[in-house]
Amino acid sequence: MYNFRFYVPTKIYFGKGEISHLAELKDYGSKVLLVYGGGSIRKNGIYDSAVKILGEAGLSVFELAGVEPNPKIETVRRGVGICKEEKVDMVLAIGGGSTIDCAKVVAAGAKYDGDPWDIVLDGTKAVTALPIFSVLTLSATGSEMDQFAVISDMTKNEKWGTAADCMKPTMSILDPTYTFSVSKKQTAAGTADMMSHTFENYFTKEKGVDVQARFAEGLLKTMIKYGPVALAQPDNYDARANLMWAASHAINGLIANGSQPAWCVHPMEHELSAFYDITHGQGLAILTPVWMKFVLKKDPTTAENFAVYGRNVWGIDDDDDQSAAEKAIECTRKFLFETMGLPANLRAVGITSDEHFEVMAEKAAKGSVGCFVPLTKDDIVEIFRAAF
């Protein structure tokens, strides 16, 4: 196990009605930028609750509305402009990962002299940020408790993840009832995303990271148990609560620290979104089983890893590593496509041509150096083609 620093400064208020803690924002100043997406929070009433609490706490509220899924740099720039003009003290995101990610770079951009795209390309440019708060409405990315933000510039077909300690939220409110209104499509995509975060950290060649591995298996079992329940019963509190808390831990360092894996499926998916603006979790679901099969074939020693996954997560009773590994991959494929109803190939999300695969693969290969099984540009093109 490598040395590591585990640092999660985010205060979490978890459970029904915890939004009342937004009143604590008054301790951080008097002007807040409220960041939200395309309007779901207005429909389900969270907007009204939040504005009332902030108003009663004496805070002036400025708004950055309309953050897109796969948030765009233009929206970030708009938010930075408001913060600088109005001398805003803090940023509050209410929404899913896209809204929280946008708010993070707005908060860092407000304290930065240049263009916020610089921060997207290089997280070290984010030295300090306005305090960031979030009310999570979609369980998936873990942005509510991590240092990452992913922003796109569609004029360049670029989507990059950045990271900085100062972008870790100061406080996040996780009320599972706020996710009752999440659509089946986004519930399934969110489950695929949190599972992928867990896989990216779990599949490592590093030995002796048992604590992290057993935590990861527990998270995966929880996601596999409750993803289908949330699909069938959107207002099942326990399902939504378990998914929410599992997603936060999949990416907050708990299961990554000590093995420090570079991620590989995410860089491939980010290229799909950069060129085709598809839903992140759907792209991951499509790529994951294909990637697993490819990796098992390219490096047969990974049979051991996939077999352990199959036995501990899926209860596969098979002593032979190769066949246990194959069964585990098949369980994963069936779960994502049959149980969760996620799109099974790239055509199903509207990617009908392979014209950009070479460029996308080149970028993804650079972004995944040091991952579980190293992938060349040609390997990635092959994975894209197998997912077609």
79 φ/ψ sector (left φ>0, alpha ψ -120 to 50, else beta): alpha
Binding ligand NZQ by CB under 6 A: which of 47, 117, 133, 148?
A: 148
202 binds ligand NZQ (CB under 6 A): no
Closest-by-Cβ residue to Zn ion is 193
143 binds ligand NZQ (CB under 6 A): yes
Q: How far apart are CA 89 and CA 91, in angstroms?
A: 7
Would strands 158-163 and 148-153 be described as parallel, antiparallel, or unpaired? antiparallel
109 binds ligand NZQ (CB under 6 A): no
Site residue total, ligand NZQ (CB under 6 A): 35
256-295 residues in contact with ligand NZQ (CB under 6 A) are: 266, 280-281
Q: What is the DSSP letter of 384?
A: H
Q: Are 298 and 372 in contact (CB under 8 A)?
A: no
Closest contact distance (angstroms) between CB of 30 and ligand NZQ is 26
333-362 residues in contact with ligand NZQ (CB under 6 A) are: none
Q: How far apart are CA 362 and CA 344, in angstroms?
A: 24
291-330 residues in contact with ligand NZQ (CB under 6 A) are: none
129 binds ligand NZQ (CB under 6 A): no
98 binds ligand NZQ (CB under 6 A): yes
- How many other C-beta atoms can be found within 10 angstroms of the C-beta atom of residue 314? 18
SS3 call for 351: coil
Q: Are 337 and 189 in contact (CB under 8 A)?
A: no
Binding ligand NZQ by CB under 6 A: which of 97, 123, 131, 343?
A: 97
In terms of C-beta density within 10 A (0-12 exposed, 13-18 middle, 19 or more buried), how is residue 161 classed?
middle
Would strands 90-95 and 132-136 be described as parallel, antiparallel, or unpaired? parallel
Q: How far apart are CA 179 and CA 136, in angstroms?
A: 8
Q: Which residues on adjacent β-strands are paired with residue 158?
A: 153
Binding Zn ion by CB under 5 A: which of 144, 175, 193, 326?
A: 193
Nearest residue (CB) to ligand NZQ, 101 versus 321: 101
321 binds Zn ion (CB under 5 A): no
135 binds ligand NZQ (CB under 6 A): no
Nearest residue (CB) to ligand NZQ, 148 versus 203: 148
Q: How far apart are CA 244 and CA 351, in angstroms?
A: 30
Closest contact distance (angstroms) between CB of 259 and Zn ion is 18
- Point out which residues bind ligand NZQ (CB under 6 A): 37-41, 44, 69-70, 95-99, 101, 137-138, 140-143, 146, 148-150, 178-179, 181-182, 186, 190, 193, 251, 266, 280-281
